């Protein structure tokens, strides 16, 4: 998970991969959902929303970086 958070590349793409990995970890039981993690994921999904044809960057990438940092810290508590 941390490799996805710290990966080189576009933050928005990395965030989408991180969300998919977290959902897989929740589904297979390797990670337990917490209220904080659910809140962070909901915020991250809002930051990643886009209309058809719209490119994400700028504020979305900045928000995703900030939220991924919070997720990383939450994983330290898991």
Instruction: Identify the CA nearest to 75 among candidates 27, 18, 20.
Output: 18
Average pLDDT, the chain: 83
- Half-sphere exposure of residue 69: CA atoms within 13 angstroms, side-chain side: 6
- Tokens representing 37 are 């993690």
Q: 46-74, pLDDT tens digit by residue? A: 888 764 555 555 677 788 888 998 999 99
Task: Specify the pLDDT at position 49.
Answer: 76
Q: Bigger pLDDT: 3 or 70?
A: 70
- Helix, strand, coil share of the chain (percent; to 5): 70, 0, 30
């Amino acid at each position: 998970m941390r490799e996805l958070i710290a990966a080189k590349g576009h933050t928005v793409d990395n965030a989408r991969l991180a969300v998919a990995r977290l959902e897989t970890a929740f589904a297979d039981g390797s990670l337990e959902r917490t209220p904080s993690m659910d809140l962070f994921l909901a915020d991250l999904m809002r930051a990643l929303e886009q209309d058809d044809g719209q490119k994400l960057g700028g504020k979305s990438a900045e928000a995703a970086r900030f939220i991924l940092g919070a997720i990383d810290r939450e994983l330290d508590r898991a």
